[in-house]
Amino acid sequence: MNICFKGTGHFLPEKIQSNEDFLAHEFYTEEGERYTHSNQEIIDKFQAITGIQNRRYIDPKMLTSDMGYEAAKKAIEDAAIDKEAIDYIIFAHNFGDVRHGETQTDMLPSLASRVKHHLAITNPKCICYDMIFGCPGWIEAVIQAKAFISSGMAQNCLVIGAEALSRVVDHNDRDSMIFADGAGACIVSRTEEESAILTHTTATLANEEAYYLYFGKGNHCDSADQTRYIKMLGRKVYELAVVEVPKAMAACLEAASVSIKDLKKIFLHQANEKMDEAMVKRLYRHYQAEPPEHIMPMNIKDVGNNSVATVPILLDMVRKGVYPEHQLNKGDLILLASVGAGMNLNCLLYRY
């Protein structure tokens, strides 16, 4: 018996926030000083590095748990299973439900329990909990789901990754342009088919790296002292990611005795276009090879960085044919990898 993705689904908000929408913003340094460069220069440099042109922002009436619910419904439908047969709901996020116009996070009850409530699942043995693991949270939740199924504790797990980062960004910080909203979900199940999670690896680097992503004060001097926003040391994150993530990907390949030549697709956390390209190049350089064309699907240009949701959203979009140049066929070997706050990183090798 193998353990596979039986179904996938995603949800993206309708509102498109383009780069041009930031022209009227006031950007300040961490020291509270206004940048001397024009907003157009800041935006042009940002787009050249990250590849982001647009991102999606959640509707004022919606919450992160609502997006997770919408993605979950699609994954359950795609898997063609009875919702009452779900043994675990694991919801990966980092900031809970933050209501429009408010700053306080809400995780009581857990977002996973909220999804179970919205799905109207009556089975008391359907266990719900949340995963707080930075951007790699969805992949880590999949790894936990695999463990539950392998041990005989479950047959089907609903794994969700969702975030509404537009509710926790400092709009006076130019890094706020990176972040976006969305949700992705999958059903992880036992199967008699060949599709399977083959290998996986996880690491936490929590010495000097622990606070490369953190909650900090606003950049503007008039920001409320009690309010905190998502902040990051971008250069530090980049330098860590391009070294450590390729190591994790190589470890997964080698644990399965798989050749780099047999790899068909790499699904990376959609954090930064240049960073993702650098990670793939470094992986192939390790094997003294060049990345093939179309090895790495990307959607960051259109949807931005929606944290834990990036990998499941991208996987579902490719599975559903949104990107014709990135077809998946039975038996294809693919890698899924992510890096984020903690600093946590992980990877899994999957036979489609």
Mean pLDDT rounded to a whole number for the chain: 94
Whether 266 and 156 map to the same domain: the answer is no
Whether 40 and 175 map to the same domain: the answer is yes
Q: Evaluate whether 178 touches 52 at the Cβ level (below 8 Å).
A: yes
pLDDT at 118 over 80: yes
Whether 228 and 336 map to the same domain: the answer is yes
pLDDT tens digits, residue range 261-305?
999 999 999 999 999 999 999 999 999 999 999 999 999 999 999
Higher-confidence position of 140 and 194? 140
Whether 282 and 346 map to the same domain: the answer is yes
Residue numbers of the domain that contains 334: 198-351
Which amino acid does the sequence have at 242? V
Whether 345 and 252 map to the same domain: the answer is yes
Whether 187 and 247 map to the same domain: the answer is no
User: Can you give the pLDDT at residue 306?
Assistant: 95
Residue that has been written with the tokens 């907003």 in this structure: 39
Instruction: Give the count of domains, the chain.
Output: 2
Helix locations, 63-158, DSSP H: 64-79, 111-119, 137-150
Higher-confidence position of 219 and 318? 318
User: Can you give the pLDDT at residue 224?
Assistant: 61
Q: Evaluate whether 29 touches 219 at the Cβ level (below 8 Å).
A: yes
pLDDT tens digits, residue range 293-303?
999 999 999 99
Span 204-223, average pLDDT: 82
Name the band, by pLDDT with cuts 50, 70 and 90, for residue 231.
Answer: confident
Span 23-51, average pLDDT: 86
The last residue of a domain, from among 193, 225, 240: 193
Whether 83 and 134 map to the same domain: the answer is yes
Whether 28 and 70 map to the same domain: the answer is yes
User: Can you give the pLDDT at residue 227?
Assistant: 78
Residue that has been written with the tokens 């990670």 in this structure: 279
Q: Give the CATH number for residue 302.
A: 3.40.47.10
Q: Evaluate whether 226 touches 279 at the Cβ level (below 8 Å).
A: no
Whether 50 and 183 map to the same domain: the answer is yes
Whether 9 and 39 map to the same domain: the answer is yes
pLDDT at 10 over 80: yes
CB crowding 212-231: b at 16 or more within 10 Å, else e: bbeeebbbbeebeeeebbbb
The last residue of a domain, from among 171, 193, 215: 193
Whether 174 and 211 map to the same domain: the answer is no
Span 3-20, average pLDDT: 96
User: Can you give the pLDDT at residue 225?
Assistant: 67
Span 178-187, average pLDDT: 97
Nearest to 248 by CA among 161, 335, 173: 335
Whether 164 and 302 map to the same domain: the answer is no
User: Can you give the pLDDT at residue 215?
Assistant: 79
User: Can you give the pLDDT at residue 18?
Assistant: 95
Which amino acid does the sequence have at 180? A
Name the band, by pLDDT with cuts 50, 70 and 90, for residue 62.
Answer: very high
pLDDT at 56 over 70: yes
The last residue of a domain, from among 124, 159, 193: 193
Task: Determine the distance from the C-alpha atom of residue 85 to the mean position of all C-alpha atoms in its chain, rounded to a whole number.
Answer: 26
